[in-house]
């Protein structure tokens, strides 16, 4: 028997909170720009308000669609992505270009995103960065997680690696929820529960490496093995996030700092880790951090879409 829609939404909202806070704080050191890395070294976050990025903006659309339809409807999700597109949020080059083309009637999301990179589609980390709330929503139904994660990724990332990355993160979030009220598992135990659900892919192969990395390994050495999102691909982003989430599942703040100190695509890696770890327990998100993140917009929680 599946959980009620309300129960599922509460889980998704909890994951969204963790994702958005980590995204907004991580944005300050994306690719370690300038002096913004000082706050990682000192662990003193910027005092000004933290603005979330495209990671959260697109996760809000996923939450909105699940709230309204209890499943991913690709056309509606695409419409929400396009309607809420904001080029000040740090969208990647491909998404930025395609969303602008769609807005002026130069094609459909299916044609433009599916036609990227010579028709192979994108294997970037965009499908993975926004999907943790979906994994939380369907945490009681693994088949639904895999199917809906795939549908959510395909709107912008049709390459099998991009889809595998989204499935991996969604499944990981659900597995984290299954440990609520229990001690966190070891890294190998946790990742062993995830691997069978990830499609055969480079993402899966790299996640297999993650379970062999000891919990006390210096983060720079972890990056040498697993990557840090520097290439903005699912393959070099997802494995690190699974390892960080497994290692610090019971400590949101430590999970953030460790993930951020890895460098690379920090807002995205931290958003993924935040969405997973918060699903295990929101109590470890510092209240001050929640207050410093800009308020989430009402549309995601109130908008009603009518399917023609």
Residues 220-268 have pLDDT tens digits of: 999 999 999 999 999 999 999 999 999 999 999 999 999 999 999 999 9
Residue 14 has pLDDT above 50, yes or no: yes
Residue 122 has pLDDT above 90, yes or no: yes
Q: What is the pLDDT of residue 13?
A: 97
Helix (H, G, I), strand (E, B) or coil at 43: coil
Using pLDDT thresholds of 50, 70 and 90, give the confidence band for residue 54.
Answer: very high
Q: What is the pLDDT of residue 206?
A: 97
Gap between the Cα atoms of 285 and 31, Å rounded: 23
Q: Is 136 part of a structural domain of the chain?
A: yes
Q: What is the pLDDT of residue 307?
A: 55
| Domain limits for position 143 | 5-302
Q: Is 127 part of a structural domain of the chain?
A: yes
Q: What is the pLDDT of residue 4?
A: 97
Residue 33 has pLDDT above 60, yes or no: no
Q: What is the pLDDT of residue 187?
A: 97
Q: Is 94 part of a structural domain of the chain?
A: yes
Using pLDDT thresholds of 50, 70 and 90, give the confidence band for residue 34.
Answer: very low
Using pLDDT thresholds of 50, 70 and 90, give the confidence band for residue 304.
Answer: confident
Model confidence pLDDT, tens digit, residues 169-220: 999 999 999 999 999 999 999 999 999 999 999 999 999 999 999 999 999 9
Using pLDDT thresholds of 50, 70 and 90, give the confidence band for residue 288.
Answer: very high
Q: Is 308 part of a structural domain of the chain?
A: no
Mean of per-residue pLDDT scores for the chain: 93
Gap between the Cα atoms of 70 and 199, Å rounded: 24
Q: What is the pLDDT of residue 37?
A: 64
Using pLDDT thresholds of 50, 70 and 90, give the confidence band for residue 35.
Answer: very low
Q: pTM (2 decimals)? A: 0.95
Q: List the CATH number of the domain containing 42.
A: 1.10.4080.10
Q: What is the pLDDT of residue 284?
A: 84
- Number of structural domains found in the chain: 1
Write phi, then psi, for 124 (nearest 5 degrees). -70, 175
Write phi, then psi, for 85 (nearest 5 degrees). -60, 130
- Helices and strands (H and E) in the chain: how many: 19, 0
Q: Is 307 part of a structural domain of the chain?
A: no
Gap between the Cα atoms of 200 and 148, Å rounded: 18
Residue 6 has pLDDT above 70, yes or no: yes
Helix (H, G, I), strand (E, B) or coil at 296: coil
**Burial code of 162-188, b = ≥16 C-beta within 10 A, e = fewer?**
bbbbbbbbbbbbbbbbebeeeebbebe
Query: How much is the average pLDDT of 123-147?
Result: 98
Q: Is 66 part of a structural domain of the chain?
A: yes
Q: Is 203 part of a structural domain of the chain?
A: yes
Distances in Å between the Cα of 175 and the Cα atoms of 47, 81, 170, 183, 253 are 34, 27, 9, 13, 20
Q: Greater confidence, 157 or 284?
A: 157
Residue 305 has pLDDT above 80, yes or no: no
Residue 279 has pLDDT above 50, yes or no: yes
Query: How much is the average pLDDT of 100-126?
Result: 92
């Amino acid at each position: 028997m599946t959980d009620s829609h309300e129960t599922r939404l509460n889980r998704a909202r909890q994951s969204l909170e963790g994702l958005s806070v980590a995204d907004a704080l991580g944005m300050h050191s994306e690719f370690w720009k300038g002096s913004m890395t000082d706050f990682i070294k000192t662990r003193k976050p910027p005092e000004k308000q933290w603005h979330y990025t495209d990671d959260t903006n697109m996760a809000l659309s996923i939450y909105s669609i699940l709230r309204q339809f209890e499943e991913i409807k690709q056309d509606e999700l695409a419409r929400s992505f396009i309607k809420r597109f904001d080029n000040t949020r740090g969208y990647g080059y491909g998404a930025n270009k395609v969303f602008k083309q769609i807005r002026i009637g130069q094609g459909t999301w299916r044609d433009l995103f599916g036609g990227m990179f010579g028709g192979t589609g994108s294997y970037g980390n965009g499908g993975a960065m926004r999907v943790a709330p979906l994994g939380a929503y369907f945490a009681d139904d693994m088949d639904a997680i895999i199917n809906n994660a795939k549908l959510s990724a395909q709107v912008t990332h049709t390459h099998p690696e991009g889809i595998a990355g989204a499935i991996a993160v969604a499944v990981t979030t659900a597995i984290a929820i299954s440990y609520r009220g229990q001690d966190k598992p070891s890294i190998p135990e946790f990742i062993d529960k995830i691997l069978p659900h990830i499609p055969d892919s480079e993402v899966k192969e790299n996640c297999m490496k993650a379970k062999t990395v000891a919990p006390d390994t210096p983060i720079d050495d972890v990056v040498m093995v697993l990557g840090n999102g520097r290439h903005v691909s699912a393959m070099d982003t997802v494995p690190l996030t699974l390892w960080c989430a497994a290692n610090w599942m019971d400590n949101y703040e430590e999970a953030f700092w460790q993930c951020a100190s890895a460098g690379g695509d920090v807002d995205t890696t931290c958003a993924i880790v935040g969405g997973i770890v918060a699903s295990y327990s929101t109590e470890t998100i510092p209240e001050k951090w929640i207050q410093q993140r800009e308020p989430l917009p009402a549309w995601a929680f109130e908008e009603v879409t009518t399917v023609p």
